[in-house]
Amino acid sequence: MNLANCLTMLRIAAVPLFLYLFSLEGISSYWIALVFVLTGITDILDGRLARARNQVTRFGVLADPLADKLIMLAAIISLASRGNVPMWVAGLLVVKEVALIIGAGFFLVSKSKVTPASRLGKSATVLLYVGVTGSILGIAYSVYLVLLGVGVSLIAGLDYLRQALQR
């Protein structure tokens, strides 16, 4: 397993840690935000490392977006459970991400080419990371970045579907 894939696995392993920290009473939101931000940093690093070292693997192509979805869903659902983000926003994101996970599973089984991340999808990820981090820290109006990120994410999901159907 190469370093990029190890970073992806580390991001997946960070999901239970994030959920545990989020569930603790009295813990500083800075610790929760730190774990979340570190997952974002590893997301950037693993892709760049894989491409720079010519170590892009089928595992990485599938596991990297799965890791992103797991940490983002954990964060959004956790925030919604506390009332920091509207529950309907979490529901929309869950439906969209579950649909993409099922679609990725189909591509894995069929050995079809996986649609790479688009600029739209990457933009949604950045908006969500910034908005969720702000929401974790209690920064006013961060929820609007989350809403915008979910909207862009839904548009990106429809674009992925369009591309997949064209193949």
Tell me: pLDDT of 8 over 80.
Answer: yes
Q: Which CATH class is domain 3-166?
A: mainly alpha
| pTM: predicted TM-score of the whole model, two decimal places | 0.89
Residue 166: which pLDDT band, with cuts at 50, 70 and 90? confident
- In this predicted structure, what is the pLDDT of residue 113? 64
| Per-residue H/E/C for the chain | CCHHHHHHHHHHHHHHHHHHHHHCCCCCHHHHHHHHHHHHHHHHHHHHHHHHCCCCCHHHHHHHHHHHHHHHHHHHHHHHHCCCCCHHHHHHHHHHHHHHHHHHHHHHHHCCCCCCCCHHHHHHHHHHHHHHHHHHCCCCCHHHHHHHHHHHHHHHHHHHHHHHHHC
pLDDT (tens digit per residue) in 50-80: 889 998 888 888 888 889 999 999 999 999 9
Listed range (37-41, 59-63, 125-129) with the worst mean pLDDT: 59-63
Tell me: pLDDT of 165 over 80.
Answer: no
pLDDT (tens digit per residue) in 87-126: 999 999 999 888 877 876 776 666 666 666 789 988 999 9
Q: What percent of the chain has pLDDT over 90?
A: 64
